[in-house]
């Protein structure tokens, strides 16, 4: 009888002939998530088992697994020989001491001599004999003992399912570059794209000394949380203070944010080339702020050739906040430190700027020199 953590994957079973590729990446991601914890990872048909770990590490293993995309559900359980006596001994450790219960069996090994119903009846009957205070209720039991008959005459016995983050294994969909701020939205956007298998590199723009070191540390903290899901341990920061000052001095005030966003996208495309990212990811939501109107979004897109993914485009703020709370970024995101987009913020920003007007105002700026200076300020922070 061996204690194990049972991991079941999500969409991978739909991948047909490519399934082995996705399973291999999934296993690599599990190993990366469990780095530093003594364990063994075993694959059985449709399952992965974490074994040979210290009892005191169980909760940490479960916590880390809960952040690995591709996990459908997971459980702590016991791995035993698939004879009736061994299964009953394991089932007894998960059975309640009173109340109602049922036994539920999944027979992955179809060559096993007993059917699922026969296993339920035999193990359930022995549990009733051993614990007289129990009662059977197959429709709405207070407790369920689960049995999973696997190949090789082995069985998994457990008492509950924990819901995983679902999605696809990170890195199976390529690499993207997330423009991460200190707000609520962008970390959620990174989470959403990592859930679809994208490796998410992170890029942050700052305006020191207008924004202070605490604002930068806030983004580092958010990036660390996101890295537990995206498995990326690198954040690039770029200073754009000089760009904002030039825009403020030379261009129409109502375009301050619009013009800054276009510079950010230009710089992001250059950083993406450095890190091998094939798309940009932002936390923009249609109509949420002045720069996120259709015209504002089109203006930003116009200066890059890479696709720009906006997974939150149709979300309202409550949708985004709900996810932020679930993934653990909300408390950090609402700390009162400003990001660079609040510097030189006009009283009346342009809501529907014409692209021709934007391009005319940009002629007042040495775009290439400003972008090059920003790129020279790039700093890489590793976690």
Q: What is the CATH number of the domain that holds 133?
A: 3.30.2130.30
Do 281 and 371 share a domain, yes or no?
yes
Give me the pLDDT at residue 329, please. 97
Give me the pLDDT at residue 352, please. 83
Do 158 and 180 share a domain, yes or no?
no
pLDDT at 341 over 80: no
Do 90 and 147 share a domain, yes or no?
yes
Q: What is the CATH number of the domain that holds 255?
A: 3.40.50.620
Give me the pLDDT at residue 297, please. 92
Give me the pLDDT at residue 211, please. 79
Strands 379-382 and 234-239: antiparallel
Do 195 and 133 share a domain, yes or no?
no
Of the residues 137, 163, 189, which one is the last residue of a structural domain?
Answer: 163
Do 57 and 149 share a domain, yes or no?
yes
Do 10 and 139 share a domain, yes or no?
yes
SS (H, E, C) 212-269: CHHHHHHHHHHHHHHHHHHCCCEEEEEECHHHHHHHHHHCCHHHHHHHHHHHHHHHHH
Give me the pLDDT at residue 342, please. 61
**Among the ranges given (20-24, 154-158, 177-181), the one the predictor scored with the smallest mean pLDDT:** 20-24
Do 142 and 50 share a domain, yes or no?
yes
Residues 353-379: what's their mean pLDDT? 96
**Among the ranges given (40-49, 131-140, 205-214, 273-282), the one the predictor scored with the smallest mean pLDDT:** 205-214
Residues 245-273: what's their mean pLDDT? 96
Q: Is residue 168 part of a domain?
A: no
**Among the ranges given (201-215, 223-237, 328-342), the one the predictor scored with the smallest mean pLDDT:** 328-342
SS (H, E, C) 350-380: CCCCCHHHHHHHHCCCCHHHHHHHHHHCCEE
8 Å CB contact between 151 and 107: no
pLDDT at 212 over 90: no
Give me the pLDDT at residue 345, please. 64
Give me the pLDDT at residue 255, please. 93
Regarding pTM above 0.75, the answer is: yes
Distances from the Cα of 22 to the Cαs of 80, 168, 224, in angstroms? 28, 8, 25
Of the residues 134, 163, 192, which one is the last residue of a structural domain?
Answer: 163
Q: Encode pLDDT of 199-211 as tens digits.
A: 999 999 999 888 7
Residues 283-295: what's their mean pLDDT? 86
Burial (CB < 10 A; 0-12, 13-18, 19+), residue 11, is: middle
| Residue 340's pLDDT band (cuts 50, 70, 90) | low
The per-residue DSSP string of 181-217 comes to -SSSHHHHHHHHHHHBT-EEEEEEEE-TTTS-HHHHH
Q: Is residue 198 part of a domain?
A: yes
Residues 21-44: what's their mean pLDDT? 95
Q: How far apart are the first and last CA of the chain?
A: 38
Q: Encode pLDDT of 182-200 as tens digits.
A: 999 999 999 999 999 999 9
8 Å CB contact between 312 and 297: no
| Length in residues, the chain | 383
Do 259 and 351 share a domain, yes or no?
yes
Overall number of domains in the chain: 2
The boundaries of the domain holding residue 227 are: 175-382
Do 74 and 195 share a domain, yes or no?
no
| Residue 117's pLDDT band (cuts 50, 70, 90) | very high
Rounded-to-integer distance, Cα 274 and Cα 296, Å: 26
Residues 140-146: what's their mean pLDDT? 97
Give me the pLDDT at residue 169, please. 96
Do 147 and 188 share a domain, yes or no?
no
Do 326 and 375 share a domain, yes or no?
yes
Of the residues 163, 190, 221, which one is the last residue of a structural domain?
Answer: 163
* Residues of the chain above pLDDT 90, percent: 83
Q: What is the mean pLDDT of the chain?
A: 93
Q: What is the DSSP letter of 116?
A: H
* Residues of the chain above pLDDT 70, percent: 97
Q: Is residue 330 part of a domain?
A: yes
Q: Encode pLDDT of 311-334 as tens digits.
A: 999 999 999 999 999 999 999 999
């Amino acid at each position: 009888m061996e204690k194990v953590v049972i991991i079941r994957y999500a969409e991978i079973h739909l991948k047909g002939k490519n399934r082995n590729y996705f399973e291999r990446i999934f296993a690599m991601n599990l190993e990366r998530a469990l780095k530093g914890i003594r364990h063994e990872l075993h694959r059985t048909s449709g399952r992965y088992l974490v074994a040979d770990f210290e009892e005191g590490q169980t909760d940490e293993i479960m916590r880390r697994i809960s952040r690995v995309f591709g996990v459908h559900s997971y459980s702590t359980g016991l791995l035993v020989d698939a004879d009736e006596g061994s299964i009953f001994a394991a089932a007894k450790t998960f059975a309640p001491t009173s109340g109602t219960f049922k036994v539920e069996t999944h027979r992955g090994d179809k060559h096993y001599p007993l059917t699922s119903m026969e296993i339920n009846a035999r193990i359930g009957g022995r549990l009733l004999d051993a614990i007289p205070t129990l009662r059977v209720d197959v429709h709405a039991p207070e407790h369920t003992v689960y049995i999973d008959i696997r190949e090789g005459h082995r069985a998994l016995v457990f008492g509950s399912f924990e819901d995983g983050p679902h999605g696809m294994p990170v890195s199976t969909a390529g690499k993207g570059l997330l423009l991460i701020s200190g707000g609520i939205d962008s970390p959620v956007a990174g989470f959403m794209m990592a859930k679809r298998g994208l490796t998410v590199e992170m890029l942050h723009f700052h305006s020191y000394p207008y924004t202070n070191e605490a604002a930068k540390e806030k983004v580092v903290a958010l990036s660390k949380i996101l890295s537990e899901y995206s498995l990326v341990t690198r954040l690039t920061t770029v200073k754009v203070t000089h760009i904002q000052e030039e825009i403020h001095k030379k261009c129409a005030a109502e375009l301050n944010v619009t013009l800054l966003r276009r510079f950010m996208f230009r710089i992001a495309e250059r950083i993406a080339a450095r890190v091998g990212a094939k798309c940009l990811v932002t936390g923009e939501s249609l109509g949420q702020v002045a720069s996120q109107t259709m015209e504002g979004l089109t203006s930003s897109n116009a200066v890059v050739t890479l696709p720009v993914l906006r997974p939150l485009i149709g979300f309202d703020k409550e949708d985004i906040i709900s996810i932020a709370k679930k993934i653990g970024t909300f408390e950090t995101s609402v700390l009162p430190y400003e990001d660079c987009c609040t510097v030189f913020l006009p009283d009346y920003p342009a809501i529907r700027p014409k692209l021709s007007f934007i391009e005319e105002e940009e002629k007042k700026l040495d775009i290439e020199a400003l972008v090059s200076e920003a790129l020279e300020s790039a700093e890489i922070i590793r976690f």
